[in-house]
Amino acid sequence: MSDDDNILTETFRRVLGDVVTSERIRAFEDSPALAPIWPELAETGFLDALVGEEYGGAGLSLAQVFPLVLALGEHATPVPFAETMLARAWLAPHGISLPDDAAVVLAPRSAILPFAEVATHALVADRDMIRVVEVTSGSNDVFRAGGALTLNPGRELGAFAGTPGDLLLAAAALTSGQMVGAMARMLDMTLNYAGERQQFGRSLGKFQAIQQQLAVMAEQVISAQVAARTALRSTHFEPIRVAAAKCRANEAARLVCNIAHAVHGAIGATAEFDLQLFSRRVKQGQVAFGSERYWAVELGRARVTADCQTTADFLRLHLMDEDV
């Protein structure tokens, strides 16, 4: 990562730290609404990070915005910021304009649509076209994290060539990144808690059984982060990379949530403690845009049909970063 990328990421993290506070997240969950979080984030200009320079944006690559996607998850951001960044980048070359205050979700077929409860617009797939439409949400999700089970479409603003698969890959990739960010935050919280909580005269982190669990948790977070980063390394969303990212994120989610709550004990599930703000969003992401089994099957099919003699060759050709 270059110095410019570091400055960009740290600036964005500071903005999120000021705007997306735990108090505001709780207020959002009590009464979901875009304000005040959305207007304060939108005015920073980061929504045009992926828009090409020829269209007035920053022209950043998917790889360059990956740290921003992670940061959104690390702060349990309850609005569709990453999704709107991508939507604006996709729409700009086709001359399709969004209202300045538009909050866009990606809406392929899914058991749940994160952020949809407060979305104003959605990208929906219709055979060989992706359409941007005004929306209102249907029934809410059980995770109380601003998602919705259905969307009610309204006026169409425009359309461009694309398939349901394209939309699903993008949604799964961005969700994987935000899940990993939230899991990294859960790891930090668990390490801090294990270091501070005293039991039998010493901190929890001094017990070998706890240390082993923390090591497993860290391994899961790092592995999922590597996979999620790989999904945003190309100029577009490649099926094999996204399948590996979402499958790995879903696998890690189960272990990370289990260990974090086991170490924290009952306090981790209380409304007053922040851990549950993140674990609920991780579990929501686990359900959205394809299960672990779904993406594992996609990976298996890709491996069987690939022109590779060994699985090592398959991994090297399809999942290894180009600059390694």
The model's pLDDT over 120-166, given as tens digits with 9 standing for 90+, comes to: 999 999 889 999 999 998 777 889 999 999 999 999 999 999 999 99
Number of other residues whose CB lies within 10 A of the CB of residue 138: 13
Tens of each residue's pLDDT in the chain, 324 residues: 454 568 889 999 999 999 999 999 999 999 999 999 999 999 999 999 999 999 999 999 999 999 999 999 999 999 999 999 999 999 999 999 999 899 999 999 999 999 999 999 999 998 899 999 999 987 778 899 999 999 999 999 999 999 999 999 999 999 999 999 999 999 999 999 988 887 777 788 778 898 999 999 999 999 999 999 999 988 889 999 999 999 999 999 999 999 999 999 989 899 899 999 999 999 999 999 999 999 999 999 988 988 888 888 888 877 776 554
Side chain identity at residue 21, one-letter code: T
Q: What is the pLDDT of residue 3?
A: 46
Do 115 and 296 contact (CB within 8 A), yes or no?
no
Residues of 14-31 as b/e, b for ≥16 C-beta within 10 angstroms?
A: ebbeebbeeeebeebbee
**Residue labelled with tokens 């779904």:** 294
The full length of the chain comes to: 324
Q: What is the pLDDT of residue 89?
A: 96
DSSP 8-state class, residue 141 = P
Q: What is the pLDDT of residue 200?
A: 74
> What's the whole-number average pLDDT of the chain?
92
Architecture of domain 3-162: Orthogonal Bundle (1.10)
Q: What is the pLDDT of residue 46?
A: 95
Phi, psi of 203 (to 5 degrees): -70, 155
- CATH class of this structure's domain 179-318: mainly alpha
**Domain range annotation of the chain:** 3-162, 179-318
Q: Give how far the C-alpha of residue 209 lies from the chain's centroid of Cα atoms, to the nearest Å.
A: 31
Q: Is the pTM of this model over 0.85?
A: yes
Q: Give how far the C-alpha of residue 245 lies from the chain's centroid of Cα atoms, to the nearest Å.
A: 11
